[in-house]
Amino acid sequence: MNTALILRTLGLVLLCEAGAMLPSLGIALFLNEADYMAFAISIFFVVIIGFTLARTRIESSEVGYREGFIIATAGWLFLALFGAFPFIISGAIPGFIDAFFETMSGFTTTGASVLTDIESLSRSILFWRSITHWLGGMGIIVLTLALIPSLKIAGMKLFRAEVPGPAKSKVLPRVAQTSRVLYKLYLMITVAEVLALKIAGLSWFDSFIQTFGTVATGGFSNKNASIAAFGNPAVEYIIVFFMFLCGMNFALHFHALRGNFRPLWQDPETRMYTFVTMAAIILICINLITAQGYGIEAAFRHSIFQSVSILTTTGFATADYNQWPAFSQGVLFLLMFIGGCAGSTSGGMKNVRYLILFKNASREITKMIHPKAVIPIRLGKDVIPEELVESVISFFFLYLAILLASTLLITAMGIDLISSISAVAATLGNIGPGFGLVGPATNYAAIPAAGKLLLTLCMLVGRLEIYTVLVVFSARLWRS
């Protein structure tokens, strides 16, 4: 195992994190906030540790899959551990477990929070809380690959270990090139939304905070009532557009930017993603009008916002859907298990996995009638390899097994069943708010400390899509 390269890469990741803290330090100094010391101390320690690790001498820059899995898992743990420093030192979140939970929620773009009064925090702390979203959305390892050309030889191992989706593909020949292109697209979408929200009437600060939560499909806001606090339909529609956009495969955006729009409407996953979104909007809209007397515009606006927010695993809210009819809640609950598209910033199972599962089920039914038939599974014109089909089936089983086991553990801590299963589903799917005790109008503060640690692990497992984390805990990985 190339231990030296693992340590060096983790050091580079920490140096990137220290650099990401600088804007928050600048905001604290500019606004004369007392929290500037929290960022100064945090940056000092993170730089010292990161620089020490980054100076590790390496004999080879070759990374195998074992190193890739370890770097990805340890990298995210390091980010959350050291990223919690500003919260703890400033006193914004004095408890380590709560601060670790909040930071992991930020970097994994989950959006679950233990904070009861967000608006009481300083702007520098709020900015750091949201910048963790922006970094985690595209992935800190992808950022490292984009910035450090020396890792180009083995970059694909790291790329595959971190990027969500059952199959990882490069849009350019080199991984470093792919990483830079993806971050350029990410930055372009970020700038576009900031400007759109500013034109719609938000302040620059509010525009940046909501944008970070949107493009990363994370959901952290600087308002206790989330997006509902602005009471601005234009802001809601802008956020819906960008949430939907960032729930799509970024490789398709790359092709569209180069003038090739055909993949956008030919991609089977995008078609399913669009169909699921439209179906959920229509069902919830009709239910709100008939069951609760909503006006057509209000019903449409709330249904489209919450459907897209939950499906893309963003977690923003414009209404307390705990008060909606049971049918609407049921639709949103089902969306929690679907997620966005592979290669997007969204969490969840991903639409492409359900496509493969549906096609595999259809094939099994056909083979019952024609046992000797050879029926390949296709997505568009592409034939899906059998090993990928098996991987998707295994992933689905593991996802449900982790969901059920974690739910049982949370209920053992005295939390009711609805709150428990939705809390696990919301953290494993990187969504944020759930139902009951952890609904959009409440938070995770009431969850016991052991429960928060378990849900923190669920966030990490969900963000790295199970296998990357489970492999690290496998004894086979550590054998020579």
HSE-CB for 380 with a 13 A CA cutoff: 13
pLDDT at site 252 = 87
Closest CA to 467 of 166, 250, 136: 166
pLDDT at 171 over 60: no
- 11 annotated as a binding-site residue: no
Condensed to tens digits (0 to 9), the pLDDT of residues 91-103 reads 999 899 999 999 9
- What value does the mean pLDDT take over residues 441-445? 90
- For residue 174, what pLDDT band results from cuts at 50, 70 and 90? low
Helix (H) or strand (E) segment spanning residue 273 = helix 268-292
Mean pLDDT within 228-232: 94
**H or E element at residue 193:** helix 175-199
Q: How confident is the model at residue 68 (pLDDT cuts 50, 70, 90)?
A: confident
Per-residue confidence (pLDDT) for residue 67, from 0 to 100: 78
Rounded Cα distance between 150 and 62, Å, is: 10
3-state helix, strand, coil in the chain (%, to 5): 70, 0, 30
Determine how many CB atoms are found less than 10 A away from the CB of residue 146. 22
Confidence at 152, pLDDT banded by 50, 70, 90: very low
CB 178 within 8 A of CB 164: no
pLDDT above 70 as % of the chain: 90
Tell me the DSSP string of 444-472.
STTS-HHHHHHHHHHHHHHHTTTHHHHHH
Q: What is the mean pLDDT of the chain?
A: 88
Q: What is the reported pLDDT for 480?
A: 57
Residue in 344, 360, 385 with CA at minimum distance from that of residue 165? 344
Going by C-beta distance under 8 Å and a sequence separation of 6 or more, which residues neighbour residue 213?
Answer: 111, 130, 133, 219, 220, 221, 314, 316
Q: Name the band, by pLDDT with cuts 50, 70 and 90, for residue 211.
A: very high
430 assigned to a ligand binding site: yes
Task: Quickly state the pLDDT bin for 173 (edges 50, 70, 90).
Answer: very low
What share of the chain has pLDDT > 90, as a percent?
62
Which of the two residues, 406 and 8, has the higher pLDDT score? 406
Query: Could you read off the pLDDT of 402-411 as tens digits, one per residue?
Result: 999 999 999 9
Q: Return the closest-CA partner of residue 257 out of 189, 168, 341.
A: 189
Phi-psi region of 32 (alpha: psi -120 to 50; beta: other; left: phi over 0): left
Higher-pLDDT residue of 60, 113: 113
On the 0-12 / 13-18 / 19+ scale of CB atoms within 10 A, 412 is exposed
pLDDT tens figures, 301-343: 999 999 999 999 999 999 999 999 999 999 999 999 999 998 8
Q: List the structure tokens of 21.
A: 């803290």
Q: Are 350 and 339 in contact, with CB atoms under 8 Å apart? A: yes
110 annotated ligand binder: yes
Q: Does pLDDT of 21 surpass 50?
A: yes
314 is in an annotated binding site: yes
d(C-alpha 169, C-alpha 360), whole Å: 22
18 token code pair: 């220290």
- Which of these, 444, 437, 478, 439, lies nearest to 459 by C-alpha position? 444
The pTM is what?
A: 0.90
